[in-house]
């Protein structure tokens, strides 16, 4: 199944609503906070050389 990115992973609002350019810019220096598939707030751990973010439904992503 392909999951589509419905939500902005920074502000948690609908991706299709637009206006997320500032979010995209901020994301250069921030990990994601919301799951882009389901809008749940993720458990995010930042470490010196990376980060991980976990959605209970959609699993872990890393950066």
Partner 1 sequence: MPEILDQARTQVLENGVGLDEAGVLAVLNLPDEHLPAALQLAHEVRMRWCGPEVEVEGIVSLKTGGCPEDCHFCSQSGLFTSPVRSVWLDIRALVEAAKQTAATGATEFCIVAAVRGPDARLMKQMREGVAAIKAEVDIQVAASLGMLTQEQVDELVEMGVHRYNHNLETCRSYFPNVVTTHSWEERWETLKMVRESGMEVCCGGILGLGESVEQRAEFAAQLAELDPHEVPLNFLNPRPGTPLGDRPVVEGKDALRAVAAFRLAMPRTILRYAGGREITLGDLGTRDGLLGGINAVIVGNYLTTLGRPATDDLKLLDDLKMPVKALSATL
Q: Which is nearer to Zn ion, 10 or 31 (CB)?
A: 10
> Applying CB under 8 A, does 41 fall inside the site for partner 1?
yes
Q: Name the nearest CA neighbour of 3 among 42, 27, 30, 35.
A: 35
Q: Tell me, by CB under 8 A, how many residues bind partner 1.
A: 20
Find which of Zn ion, partner 1, none residue 61 binds, CB within 5 to 8 Å per kind.
none
> Applying CB under 8 A, does 11 fall inside the site for partner 1?
yes
Beta bridge partners of 62: 52
> Applying CB under 8 A, does 15 fall inside the site for partner 1?
no
5: burial class by Cβ within 10 Å (0-12, 13-18, 19+)?
A: exposed
């Amino acid at each position: 199944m392909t999951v589509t990115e419905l939500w902005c992973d920074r502000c948690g609002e609908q991706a299709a609503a637009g206006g997320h350019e500032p979010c995209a810019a901020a994301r250069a220096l921030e990990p994601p906070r919301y799951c882009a598939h389901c809008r749940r707030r993720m458990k995010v751990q930042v470490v010196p050389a990376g980060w991980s973010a976990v959605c209970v439904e959609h699993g872990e992503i890393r950066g």
